[in-house]
Amino acid sequence: MSEKRGTSAPHGAHGRPLTSGERWAAIKASPFFPAIVLVFILAAAAGLFAGSYTYAMANPTPRHIPTAVIGLRASPSERAFAGGMDKALHGTLRLTEYAGYAEAVRAVEEQREFAVLRPRGRTVELDVAGAAGASVAQLLAETGAKVGKAAGVDVRIRDIKPLQRGDPRGLALFYISLAAVIIGFVGAIQLSVHARALNPAERIAFTITYALVGGFAIVAVVDWWLGALRLPFMASWAILALTMFTTGMVFSMFNTLMGRWAMIPTWGLMVLLGNPSSGGAVSWPLLPSPLGHIGRWLPPGASVNAQHTAVYFGGYQHLFPYLVLAGWAVVSCTVFWVWRHRHPGGRETGTPEHAADA
């Protein structure tokens, strides 16, 4: 007898339809899955990157401009000028009265004020500080000239704290801080890819090493080679090295917690949020209020603030930006070390306990 041939019902587990859970497991196991996810992540990152910088920098608007005043209530013309300035700046001028000019200038040096207004006979002097914030100084100078003309007041404008000649727009410090931030976490990424055999302690040691060498290289190129900025060598080197180490360890922390997707929170924290809110390209009084406050607590903003003060206000250093950088570094190192067993990479250091039986 010949055996009947034809279609038969599926037999066993291999023939049954896949459940939704099994289908999802098969999709995740596919080599195309991470590539597809990356396509959407990169598209979102591109849009968010453009959006965050445009939101913060495309149309800087005054929000809160601290300004020192000395005796501006002495005459109607001076009162008219102060009122016109406040109106032109949409009520964002925050005037603080000082007893004398020396006290007001000291407040500028301490970066508590951005300008000084004072009467000088029949004129009004508007002293701006380009080093305190180039974008704010430009706005105050342009507005002061227009308001003085409209109010019939003779206004004399001068910059009492100018930027260095090689950095007329005040962007060089932002760029060197940006370089330290990006190279800092890119270096940690490269260690994870090309030096996976490093153990946790060795990874921290090499992060310190490339941070020190990289910070030195930035100072050497910008100051000694290009001559674009005169940098206080030890202070600038220390700030740049601490910035690179901090951002490198932030990536290592996320790499321990999230594995291959660590770039997402690192990029979001450092580039999408941190750099636009750092105050380097646009001074914080012109940033949207939330960014102006948040930026000071993130490594890019702390790096810009510390570098800016070291270069232009060396006698009035603030501890806060250093504490921010050190805090992020300590937290990142602690998380990385506590969960170091989860960090991808490393190598076996011991010998097998049992040899295979012959």
241-to-55, 66, 216, 245, 309 alpha-carbon distances in Å: 30, 32, 8, 6, 16
Within 13 Å of residue 293, how many CA atoms lie on the same side as its CB? 4
Q: Work out whether the CA dihedral 169, 172, 174, 179 comes out positive or negative.
A: positive
Cβ burial of 45 (10 Å; 0-12, 13-18, 19+) is middle
Kindly report the pTM of this predicted structure: 0.83
pLDDT at site 355: 42
Mean pLDDT of 232-238: 96
**Region for 6 from its dihedrals, namely left if φ exceeds 0, alpha if ψ lies in -120 to 50, beta otherwise:** left
Minimal CA–CA distance to 187: which of 274, 272, 247, 268?
247
pLDDT at site 58: 66
Minimal CA–CA distance to 166: which of 231, 110, 109?
231
Rg, C-alpha atoms of the chain: 29
Question: Which residues fall within 8 angstroms of residue 56, CB to CB, at 6 or more apart?
Answer: 276, 277, 281, 282, 287, 288, 291
pLDDT tens string 26-53: 777 777 777 787 788 778 878 877 777 6
% of the chain with per-residue pLDDT over 90: 44
pLDDT tens string 249-308: 999 999 999 888 888 899 999 988 888 888 888 888 888 777 778 889 999 999 999 999
Beta strands 93-97 and 154-159, pairing class: unpaired
Mean pLDDT of 163-170: 86
Helix, strand or coil, per DSSP, at residue 271: helix
195-to-104, 188, 202, 207 alpha-carbon distances in Å: 54, 10, 10, 12
pLDDT-derived band of residue 167, with 50, 70 and 90 as boundaries?
A: confident
CA distance 54 to 309: 26
CA 5, 6, 9, 14: dihedral to nearest 10 degrees?
A: 80
Site of tokens 């607590």:
297
pLDDT at site 14: 56
